Chain A
């Protein structure tokens, strides 16, 4: 199984709503990532979890709150978002080596397309 599964595929929310994006992988990867991608732009790293601990936060606004309940699951909690947060949110996972570095390619999920009204 080389899949990263993301739900929902599409999400429309108002600026006062609270919602969550979910990501799951069963490849035994111990690093999981959230990326944000705007149209016709490259992905931008948001968060990295390594062994269920947050290792990178790319100065993401607090209205985005990541959570890694276990080694297979990664959530992104959304609250009080702005219309400019509308984007494709991509989850990825990878293996981790002894030194804590990514040892290979990132496997990306299909993404959750978020629209904030």
Chain B
């Protein structure tokens, strides 16, 4: 079974600082997703990374995918309080049957003034 490891699980950072969340997975995959979840809310799609070397940016968040290293990163630039949420990466295993996404445990991000 495909394993997805996210770290850190908890991240407390000051506004204005930069940080990176890491997502490692155990077997080959060409598809990786990043989701954001606010407390008590649903999952909001942030990025869909479909190929090796893919890099996507939206505001203060930038995601990248290295399929050879089986690693994705979510980089936060100049954090603001509004980014406080839980971030999940999810991997669609190659050859997996439809819809079987494997989620990491999530990174709970708190941004303080």
**Could you tell me how many residues of chain A have their Cβ less than 8 Å away from some Cβ of chain B?**
27
Does B113 belong to the interface (CB within 8 Å)? no
Residues from chain A with a CB closer than 8 A to the CB of B97 are: 48, 55-56
**Known A43-B43, A90-B43, A110-B42: A56·B98 in contact at CB below 8 Å:** yes
Residues from chain B with a CB closer than 8 A to the CB of A88 are: 40
Does B45 belong to the interface (CB within 8 Å)? yes
Interface residue stretch chosen among B65-73, B74-82, B99-107: B99-107
Instruction: Please list the residues of chain B having a beta carbon within 8 angstroms of any beta carbon in chain A.
Output: 33, 35, 40-45, 48, 88, 92, 97-101, 103-106, 108
Interface centre among B44, B48, B101, by most chain A C-beta atoms within 10 angstroms, is B101
B98 A106 Cβ-Cβ under 8 A: no
B43 A101 Cβ-Cβ under 8 A: no
Q: Which of A31, A104, A113 contacts B98 (CB under 8 A)? A: A31
**Known A42-B103, A42-B104, A105-B33: A96·B42 in contact at CB below 8 Å:** no
Shortest CB–CB separation between residue B61 and chain A, in angstroms?
16
Q: Which of A50, A105, A109, A111 contacts B45 (CB under 8 A)? A: A105
Shortest CB–CB separation between residue B87 and chain A, in angstroms?
11
Residue of A nearest to B106 (CB): A42
Q: Mark A24-40, 1 if CB is under 8 A from B, else 0.
A: 00000001010000001
The CA of A41 and the CA of B9, in the complex, are separated in Å by 11
Extra 14 A-B pairs, beta carbons < 8 Å, given A107-B45, A108-B45: A42-B103, A42-B105, A45-B99, A50-B99, A55-B97, A55-B98, A88-B40, A94-B99, A106-B99, A108-B42, A109-B42, A110-B42, A111-B41, A111-B42
Residues from chain A with a CB closer than 8 A to the CB of B108 are: 40
Residues from chain A with a CB closer than 8 A to the CB of B98 are: 31, 48, 50, 55-56, 96, 100-102
Residues from chain A with a CB closer than 8 A to the CB of B100 are: 45, 48, 56
Q: Which of A42, A56, A100, A101 contacts B88 (CB under 8 A)? A: A42
Chain A residues 38-86 with CB under 8 Å of chain B are 40-43, 45, 48, 50, 55-56
B43 A108 Cβ-Cβ under 8 A: yes
